[in-house]
Structure 1
Amino acid sequence: MTDQSAFPDDLLKLQERLHRAHAEHRAYLADLPWSVEPLTGWTRGERFSHRGDVPDSPGWSDEQKETVDRMWAEIRELSIALASHPHWATVAREHLVDTRMLLKKQTRHAEPHIEVAEAA
């Protein structure tokens, strides 16, 4: 097994960038309409919905689609760079999964920082 000090600095930075890219992607998607293409919503009684009533979706704009595509491309590039990093050749095959999980755990922030406005 390995510890954080055994990970090369560039590998740690790659993993941190990948975590950040995933978080930014999730946050961006959360603000988009629920459907990529325009679709009519429904009320809870018309179809099963764990969210209750679902409003109409105007769909995504071309700019929003391009942004999501660009974000996915960045995530793919970072994932490939991370998976093909030379460090993995130095890790015994039987420890690869555990070591990879350790890298992910050690570079991920335990809780996202959320600023709370002071009540006046």
Structure 2
Amino acid sequence: MTDASTFPDDLLQLQERHHRLHAEHRAYLAGLPWSVEPMKGWRRAEKHSHRGDVPDSPGWSDEQKETVDRMWGEIRELSIAVVDHPHWATVPREVLVNARMQLKRQARPADADDTAKAA
């Protein structure tokens, strides 16, 4: 198994930024209306809804759509940077998946989940 000290600092920083941005993205989405486009809500008796009554959704503004798209783009770029990092060429194939999982655990910021809950 890859020793924790073998991850390069830049790879650890990339993975931590990925965790943080993903948490920010989830928190941002949680604050948006339930439908991207304006849509009429419904009462539980009208449809089988596990959420109960669902209010009308005003949809997302153009700015909100652009923010979501920008954040997704940044998450994708960070994902690519982590996966394509030269370090992975030095890790034996038989332990590669375990090493990647260890990186995710090691680089997870303590407050990543708190960031998502706070917003």
TM-score over 0.5 (shorter chain): yes
Measured on the aligned residues, the alpha-carbon RMSD in Å equals: 1.3
Matched, 1:89 2:73: no
- What is the aligned partner in structure 2 of residue 47 from structure 1? 47
Q: Counterparts of 1:98-109 in structure 2 under 5 Å?
A: 98-109=98-109
Post-superposition CA distance 1:26-75 (Å, at most 9, x none): 00000000000000001111112111111000000000000000000000
* Residue segments in structure 1 that go unaligned for 5+ positions in a row: 115-120
1:109 alignment partner AA:
P
Residues 10-89 of structure 1: pairs in structure 2 closer than 5 A: 10-89=10-89
Contact 2:20/2:109 (<8 A) preserved: no
User: TM-score if structure 1 supplies the norm length?
Assistant: 0.90
So what's the TM-score if we normalise by structure 2?
0.91
* 1:48 counterpart SS class: coil
How many angstroms apart in 2 are the aligned matches of 1:75 and 1:88?
A: 19
Q: Identity, % of aligned pairs?
A: 75
| Larger mean Cα displacement after TM superposition, 38-47 or 104-113 | 104-113
- Asked whether the equivalents of residues 40 and 55 of structure 2 are also in contact (C-alpha less than 8 Å), the reply is yes
Shift of 1:3: 2.2
Quote the Cα distance in structure 2 between the aligned partners of 1:57 and 1:107: 37
